[in-house]
Amino acid sequence: MSISLEQPTWLADLIRYTLEHYDTQAASARATQLPVDNRRGVAAISMALECRNVSQGLPALYPELSEDPSDFPSVKFLSTLRIQSEVALDVAVSLGRPYEGQLARLALLMIWWAALGELDQADALAQLWTQIAQGHRDASEISGYLDSHIEPLGAHLKSRAVLKPDPLLALPISQGISFFDIRMAGQLAEALHDDQQLERHEIERIMMLTQSDRLRFIEATIALAWSNGLLESEERNLIKKQIEVLNLDKKDTRKLLNAMITPAVPKEFVQSFSDPEVAMFVLRQLVIASMIDGEQDAKERKFLQRTAKEMGLNDTQFRQIMEAMMAFLDANRASIDAMKSQKKRTRPGF
């Protein structure tokens, strides 16, 4: 099945495809490895990200989703949405919540509206979820109502995406942003399925932490680019474009633009991440960014060592991360080359 983003029902097609191809057996097998305490949902997110290469910063791509498998922007967009869906479904499986039929559709639509910050739409679906959970509504009766969300939600998702050929999509910094988008979907799913309701204050909390992590991540990549003493005009322009894509407020935009003049030091951004998993992801992404074209210089390595030290890692642990990321790059060279082919560059960037 291929999906045309020009069709108003493309999102319905994607949801149907994802639910039909979701590997419930594999998800159930992974769930047996999770703790049985209140950390189970969080652990499910981490495992879901790990098994899809999201934690390494190279989420799986599914060219077969797009009507044009050679169109990298649409493939990346649809693949990211599919992975968001599967991570949310993994959380549902791990917590023994619905992961099929209309309730699965309801959960996914709710999570996407919430991730976009469209809280009124998310609230409406959250109330419907609660009514069904309490036995006041029947899930078999909500198909038409869910259908009414498909076109407006699809339009909102497309409006936030880069769907034209763009060098931005080929950069590790873009893959990093995908990590935060996918992880947030898992966190929203965990908030929903943990107590069978998704409250506005939980959405706002998750969005605030995710946005803060995104900002610190971009600050870190800017600082890495500056570590050799030069932020090239091409890199500067791409950073500005990434900032535009994030739809930041004026205060956050100004902070990142200032970071391109006076970059942050590791001590400033390391301590600001929401949890150790995010900090480790960022460190791995910085290592990949420095190695991606095989030209890591001494100043970049020194910057990475300082960053690792601020995270509490010793020299042996840092060396292990460097070796693991090199092995990861070697194992995924074909995918990386496919992304790099979006733009021929003479100097390694983000």
Q: Which amino acid belongs to residue 256?
A: L
| Predicted structure pTM score | 0.89
Residue-wise pLDDT for 138-151, tens only, equals 999 999 999 999 99
Collapsing DSSP to helix, strand or coil, 308 comes out as: helix
Q: Are 102 and 64 in contact (CB under 8 A)?
A: no
Residue-wise pLDDT for 45-70, tens only, equals 999 999 998 988 778 889 999 999 98
Q: Are 110 and 199 in contact (CB under 8 A)?
A: no
Q: Which residue, 198, 220, 240, sits at the end of a domain? A: 198
Nearest CA to 100 out of 133, 139, 47 is that of 139
Same-domain pairing of 125 and 217: no
Q: Which residue, 198, 228, 245, sits at the end of a domain? A: 198
Domain count, the chain: 2
Mean pLDDT, the chain, as a whole number?
88
Same-domain pairing of 152 and 219: no
Report pLDDT for 190: 97
Structural domain including 285 reads 212-340
Collapsing DSSP to helix, strand or coil, 199 comes out as: coil
Give 345's pLDDT tier (boundaries 50, 70, 90): very low
Whether residue 309 lies inside any domain: the answer is yes
Task: List residues bridging with 3 in a β-sheet.
Answer: 66
Whether residue 205 lies inside any domain: the answer is no
Nearest CA to 31 out of 16, 124, 222, 23 is that of 23
Whether residue 246 lies inside any domain: the answer is yes
Domain harbouring 325, CATH code: 1.10.3680
Same-domain pairing of 183 and 66: yes
Collapsing DSSP to helix, strand or coil, 20 comes out as: helix
Same-domain pairing of 66 and 122: yes
Same-domain pairing of 301 and 193: no
Same-domain pairing of 257 and 314: yes
The span from the CA of 274 to the CA of 31, in Å, is 25
Q: Are 110 and 95 in contact (CB under 8 A)?
A: no
Whether residue 157 lies inside any domain: the answer is yes
Report pLDDT for 128: 96
Whether residue 307 lies inside any domain: the answer is yes
Same-domain pairing of 122 and 50: yes
Same-domain pairing of 154 and 244: no
Whether residue 3 lies inside any domain: the answer is no
Residue-wise pLDDT for 269-319, tens only, equals 898 899 999 999 999 989 988 887 667 788 999 999 999 999 999 999 999
Report pLDDT for 328: 81
Same-domain pairing of 194 and 295: no
- The sign of the dihedral angle between the CA atoms of 281, 282, 286, 292 is positive
Collapsing DSSP to helix, strand or coil, 230 comes out as: coil
Q: Which residue, 148, 171, 198, sits at the end of a domain? A: 198
Whether residue 61 lies inside any domain: the answer is yes
Q: Are 323 and 288 in contact (CB under 8 A)?
A: no
Same-domain pairing of 223 and 182: no
Cα 331 to its chain centre, rounded Å, is 21
DSSP state of 3: B
Residue-wise pLDDT for 199-226, tens only, equals 999 999 999 999 999 889 989 988 988 8
The span from the CA of 273 to the CA of 264, in Å, is 14
Same-domain pairing of 75 and 166: yes
Terminal alpha carbon distance of the chain: 34
Same-domain pairing of 54 and 191: yes
Whether residue 141 lies inside any domain: the answer is yes
Name the least confident of 85-99, 107-121, 138-152, 231-245.
231-245
Nearest CA to 199 out of 207, 88, 143, 82 is that of 207
Mean pLDDT of 182-191: 97
92-115 burial, b at 16+ Cβ within 10 Å, e below that, comes to: bbbbebbbeebbbbbbbbbbbbbb
